[in-house]
Structure 1
Amino acid sequence: MTPQHHLRGVLLASIACILWGISGVAASTLFKLNPHVTALWLTQVRMITAGIILLVLGQLIGVKPFEIWRQKATGLRVISYGLLGLVPVQLCYFEAVKFGNAPIATIIQFLGPFIISIYFLLFKHVIPTRPEMGGMLLAFVGTLLIVTHGHLNSLAISPVVLFWGGLSAIGVATNTLIPRPLLPKFGAVSVTGWGLLVAGICLNIFGPVWQDHVTLSWAGWSMIGIIIVFGTVIPFLMFAHALGYILPTTASLLDAFEPLSATVFSVMFLSVQLTKYDLVGGALVILAVMALSLNGHQMLRLIRRFRMKTD
């Protein structure tokens, strides 16, 4: 691997994470432009549209997306990935954005890697390493600062935001673990495309997307376009391509650009006011995830072991 290839991978992953952060800001803007837009409706539109785009692209580049349905086990895993992975990581995230703001929602969701560590501790009896324990402590202190602003007897953010943000963090964990066995054989484009499409269609059980007569201005449709194209399809393709040049551990470190970009653009364009507790707490959470990523080889071994047991 040449330095040029490594630099290309770093740039692709960094831009992808920045775009994911901008996606949350665009969603926050849309909710402010039109209070009638619900997180459920936006998630349905995003998932179905982005899923179709990815599957069409997959067919055009020859990855044969329909192969994944030839076996019952792989089909069921795709459905599980969509419902248990993508729904919480996207719907719950948008709910947290709607009731709070993009920076706080993104920072809480950023706790996802620690959910994975806790999962392995409780169900696989794998004791975290010292760096992981230190990272968990940092993340706990950072989250505590954000949630209480230093006043332990009261909450500084709405419990609703904390609830939806916590579910989205769990979604990050399930979104990481469930599709792992499928990726080597079927590729990220097919797996993610079907996961998005299945999840988006199933969400219609709770409220058919065509029954919500949402009237949007050109600015509103522009935000939806940004969320789908620049906040879903393009960053996903860029991040998947970046993994061909850099290690997953490096990519995990670059994930820090997502909460940073959500914070910067929210302050710049939405005039979101963040306290010193939010900034310090957010910085501690980001440092904690980076500490965990630096010990990423251990995490990768755990995920591979988990995948072997579930095959």
Structure 2
Amino acid sequence: MTTQHHLRGVLLASIACILWGISGVAASTLFIHNPHITPLWLTQIRMISAGIIMLIWAQLAGTKPLAIWRQHRDTIQVICYGLLGLIPVQLCYFEAVKVGNAPIATIIQFLGPFIISIYYFLFKHVKPRRAEAIGMLMAFVGTLLIVTHGHLNSLAISPVVLFWGGLSAIGVATNTLIPRPLLPKYGALTITGWGLLIAGIFLMVIKPAWTVSLSLNAFEWLLIVVIILLGTVAPFFMFARSLSDILPTTASLLDAFEPLAATIFSVTFLNVQLTGFDLFGGILIILAVMALSMNVRKMMARLHRQTD
């Protein structure tokens, strides 16, 4: 791998994570400008539109996206991915943005890797190493600072924000773990495309988008397009492409750009006010996730040795 390729991979992954952060800010702007727009409605539109685009792209790329429906077990797994992985990571995140703000929602969601680590400890019996344990402690302290602002007898943010943000963090874990066996077989485009489309159709059944009476202006439609194309499709392609130039552990470290972008753009354009506790807690969580990410390969190597 040349230095030029490594630099390209780092750049693509960084831009992808920044775009994911911007999508949260765009959603927050939508909710502020038009209170009638709900996270459920926006998630449906985002998922179905992005899912169709990805599946068409997969077909044009020759990956045969329909092949997955010929395997019963794989079909069930991709449905579980859509319902248990993508719905929590997207719908619950938008709910947290709606009742709180993009920076706090993104930082809480950023705790997802620790849920993955806890999963491996409980179900795969892979004990966390010292760096991982320290990272978990840092993440706990960071979350505590954001939630209480140093006053342990009271909450500084709404329990509703914590609830939706916590579910979105769980979604990060299920969104990562469920589709892993399918990706080498069918490709990320096909799996993500079907997952998004299945999740969007399921949400449509709950409350169809066309039953919601909305009047949207050009600016609001522009934000929706930004969320679909720049906040979903484009970063997915960039991040997937970056993995051919850099290691997954390097790419996961660059995930820190997502909460940073959400914070910077929210403070700059939405005048979101963050306290010193929010900023310090967010920095602790970001550093903790980076520490955990640097041990991912070691953790996976141990898991493979135990299962061989």
Once the two structures are superposed, the pairs formed by residues 41-190 of structure 1 within 5 Å of their partners are 41-190=41-190
| In structure 2, C-alpha distance between the alignment counterparts of 1:124 and 1:8, rounded to whole Å | 35
SS where residue 29 of structure 2 aligns?
Answer: helix
What does the per-residue CA deviation read over 1:223-250, in whole Å, with 9 as the maximum and x for residues that have no partner?
1010000000000000000001110000
Query: Residue 126 of structure 2 contacts residue 303 of structure 2 at CA under 8 Å; is this kept in 1?
Result: no
Structure 1 residues 250 and 24, CA, compared in 2 at 3 Å: closer, same or farther?
same
Give 1:15's aligned residue.
15
- How many angstroms apart in 1 are the aligned matches of 2:67 and 2:238? 23
8 Å Cα contact 1:149/1:156 also seen in 2: yes
Deviates more, 1:209-218 or 1:223-232: 209-218
Tell me if the contact between 2:124 and 2:303 (Cα under 8 Å) persists in the aligned partners.
Answer: no
Equivalent residue of 1:156, what SS?
A: coil
Number of residues paired by the alignment? 308
Task: Answer whether contact 2:16 2:235 (CA < 8 A) is retained.
Answer: yes
- RMSD of the TM alignment (CA)? 1.4
Q: Partner of 1:258 in structure 2?
A: 258
Whole-angstrom distance in 2 between the partners of 1:139 and 1:171:
17
| Cα pair 1:177 1:303 within 8 Å, conserved | no
The corresponding residue for 2:205 is 205
CA positional deviation for 1:304: 6.0
| CA displacement at 1:77 relative to structure 2 | 0.6
Contact 1:78 1:191 in 2 (8 A): yes
The separation in 2 between residues aligned to 1:84 and 1:239, in whole angstroms, is 22
- Displacement of 1:121: 1.6
* Aligned residue number for residue 38 of structure 1: 38
Deviation at 1:123, TM superposition (A): 2.0
> Which amino acid in structure 1 is aligned with residue 12 of structure 2?
L
Contact 2:126-2:299 at 8 Å conserved across structures: no
| Aligned counterparts, 1:273-292, within 5 A | 273-292=273-292
- Offset of residue 305 of structure 1: 7.9
Paired letter, 2:236 = F
Q: By how many angstroms is 1:164 displaced?
A: 0.2
- After superposition, the Cα gap between the structure-2 partners of 1:26 and 1:288, relative to the gap in structure 1 and judged at 3 Å, is same
Q: Distance in 1 between matches of 2:182 and 2:46?
A: 23
Cα offset, 1:125, TM superposition: 2.2
Q: Give 1:124 shift.
A: 2.2
Matches within 5 A, 1:178-257: 178-257=178-257
Partners of 2:232 and 2:302 in 1: CA distance: 28
**CA spacing shift, 1:46–1:190, aligned 2, 3 Å:** same
C-alpha deviation, 1:218, in angstroms: 0.8
Is 247-256 or 114-123 further displaced after alignment? 114-123
SS in 2 for 1:170: helix
Q: Distance in 1 between matches of 2:303 and 2:161?
A: 29
Deviations 1:123-153 (A, max 9, x none): 2222111111000000000000000000000
Shift of 1:299: 3.6
User: Which ranges of structure 2 fall in alignment gaps of 5 or more residues?
Assistant: none
Partner Cα separation in structure 2 for residue 38 and residue 29 of structure 1: 12
Whichever residue aligns with residue 192 of structure 1, its letter is T
Q: Distance in 2 between matches of 1:133 and 1:245?
A: 30
What is the deviation of 1:293? 0.7
Residue 298 of structure 1 deviates from its aligned partner by 2.4
The one-letter code sitting in structure 1 at the alignment partner of 2:37 is V
TM-score normalised by structure 2 residue count: 0.98
Normalised by the length of structure 1, the TM-score is 0.97
Task: Please give the alpha-carbon distance, in whole angstroms, between the structure 2 residues aligned to 1:50 and 1:305.
Answer: 38
Q: Distance in 2 between matches of 1:54 and 1:222?
A: 20
User: How many percent identity over aligned positions?
Assistant: 72
